[in-house]
Structure 1
C-alpha cells in the first residue's frame, strides 16, 4: 500500500511544463476489484496500489478543452473533445501514480499524437457529451471495437468539498504521476493541478462495456462516484526511468 505521506507531496515538478489542458464535467466512477486478478494486467515492474488492501478500477468521462502545447500553436480542431479513461492505481519505488488500460478520445490527431509521443493506449471513438440541466449525457463507442462502449447520465448532488488527506476520496483522486511502458521500458509523466474540488454524484449507466473489452470484470455493486466541474492541468515531459 502507498505510503500516504508520499502521496500528500503534490508539489510542482522540476523542469518546465510542456502542455496544458482543462478537464470539464468530470465523473469519477470507482469500483473495488480483486487485486489478484488485476495484478496480472499491469506491467511486472509496477506495484499494484491498494487502499487498506483493496484494489480499485476507475472510469473518468469528461470534456477536454484548452488543449495547448507550450511554445507551439494549437492543434487544429483539438481544443475541445470528449475523453474517457479506464485506469487503476500503481506505485513505483514508493511514488504513487496511475496506470491506464485505455483512453478513448474523439479526435484522430490527438489520439495519434498521444500514442506516438506519450506511449499511451489511446483509441479513437465516436463520442458526445451534452449538458442536460445540471447533468451530463455522455456517449462513447470505440471505432473498430463495438465491445468498448459507454453511455451514462450523471450529475452532482452535493456541495463542493476537498477530500481529506488519508481518506479514500483523496487516495483515488489526488494522483500526480502516470506510468506507462513501451518496448519493455518504463516511462512516467508528472502533472500538476490544484486539489480537486469534488462533489458527490449520481449516475445511471445504460451501457458500460469498456472494462470488459480489456478483460476486466466490474462488480455488480454500485460504484463510488465523484464529480468535478473543472480542473486546469499542466503536464511535464514524458521521461524514461533510468
Structure 2
C-alpha cells in the first residue's frame, strides 16, 4: 500500500470510538496479517502490578482481560521509505491487557515476541516497545499451524487451526477486545502513548486443534485450558503516529 492509499484509511473512521484520529501526519505504515486472538478473563488484582502510574486497567463489566495475538507483521516502514522484507516481515506474538488514561482506551503490552533477531532489536530501539526474540514458525493448509517457543522465558504456543465462518454480527465485547487505537509504553520514568488507525477488524470464528499454550509472567499464568474466547482475522493495514509523552 503506497502513501496515497494509506492516507485513504483516514476517510474510514465510522468504526472508531468517539475520539478522532490525530491531526498530525502519520509516520509509520505496517500490516498485521492472519491474526489469531486468544482471550482470558483475569483477576484485576493480578494485573495491577503490571500497570504503570498514569494509566489504569480498563475493565468490561468489572472484569479485566488479557489477550494473546499471534500474527504476521508485514511491510512495516517509515512514511517516506520502502519496506525491506528482511527486516519488515516477521511473525509476532504480543501479550496485552486493556488500559485507559481516563479518555483514551488502549492496550498495554506485557510482552512482545518477534521471529527475527534483527527485527526485534530494531523494533525495540525505534519504538521502545518490549520486543524480544523467539522461535516462531507458521504454515498454511487445510489445517494451518502456528508454533512459537521462547527459550528465555519458557513461554510457548503450538496450535493447528482453521478459519471458519464470519459471524453475522459482532458482540459489544468483540469490539471492546479488538477495536483499540492507542498503545501505552513506559520507558525510563516516562509514560508514552502511540496513536494508530486501521479499518475495522474482520473477525471470523476459529477452530483449533492440538492447542498447547503456556505464558507465565510474574503472577500471571495463562494456559490453553482457561481460554475464554478466540477470534481469527485476515488482518488490517495500519498507520501509526509518533509517540506522545503523558504527564503524570
Shorter-chain TM-score tier: 0.7 to 0.9
* 1:52 partner SS: coil
Partner residue of 1:29?
38
- The alpha-carbon deviation at position 72 of structure 1 amounts to 2.5
Query: Which of these residues, 33, 40, 59, is aligned with residue 50 of structure 1?
Result: 59
Counterpart Cα distance in 1 of 2:76 and 2:134:
18
Aligned equivalents of 1:109 and 1:10: distance in 2?
A: 35
User: 202, 223, 230: which one pairs with 2:228?
Assistant: 223
SS state at 1:78 partner: helix
Is 2:185 the counterpart of 1:177? no
Give the match's secondary structure for 2:221: coil
Residue number in structure 2 paired with 1:3: none
Q: Deviations over 1:143-198 (max 9, x none)?
A: x515122211222222255635xx10010000000001011210010100011111
Q: Distance in 1 between matches of 2:222 and 2:204?
A: 23
Q: For structure 2, list consecutive stretches of 5 or more residues without a partner in the other structure.
A: 1-15
**1:112 and 2:121 correspond:** yes
Kindly state the Cα deviation for residue 100 of structure 1 after the two structures are TM-superposed. Answer: 0.2
Instruction: Give the aligned partner of residue 10 of structure 2.
Output: none
In 2 relative to 1, CA 25–184 (structure 1 residues): closer, same or farther, beyond 3 Å?
same
String of CA shifts for 1:23-79, please: whole Å, max 9, x gaps: 111111101011111111221321101000000010010111122211124346023
> Structure 1 residues 146 and 34, CA, compared in 2 at 3 Å: closer, same or farther?
closer
| 1:110-131 deviation line (CA, Å, top 9, x unaligned) | 2112222211111111111111
Query: Matched residue of 1:13: which SS?
Result: coil
TM-score for the superposition, normalised by structure 2:
0.86
Number of paired residues?
A: 231
Structure 1 CA distance, aligned partners of 2:19 and 2:100?
Answer: 15
What is the alpha-carbon distance in structure 2 between the residues aligned to residue 108 and residue 162 of structure 1? 39
Find the aligned partners of 2:206 and 2:29 in 1 and give their Cα distance. Answer: 26
In the TM superposition, residue 221 of structure 1 has moved relative to its aligned partner by 2.9
* CA distance in structure 1 between the aligned counterparts of 2:230 and 2:170, rounded to whole angstroms: 13
In structure 1, stretches of 5+ residues that fail to align are 1-6
Aligned equivalents of 1:58, 1:47: Cα separation in 2: 17
Asked if structure 2 preserves the Cα contact closer than 8 Å seen for 1:162 and 1:198, the reply is no
1:155 aligns with 2:162: yes
- Are the equivalent residues in 1 in contact too, given 2:75–2:89 (CA < 8 A)? yes
Larger mean CA deviation between 73-82 and 147-156 belongs to 73-82
Match of 2:216 among 209, 212, 215: 212
* 8 A Cα contact 2:26 2:239, kept in partner: yes
CA contact (8 A) 1:199 1:226 kept: yes
Q: TM-score w.r.t. structure 1 length? A: 0.88
- For the aligned residue pairs, the C-alpha RMSD in angstroms reads 2.0
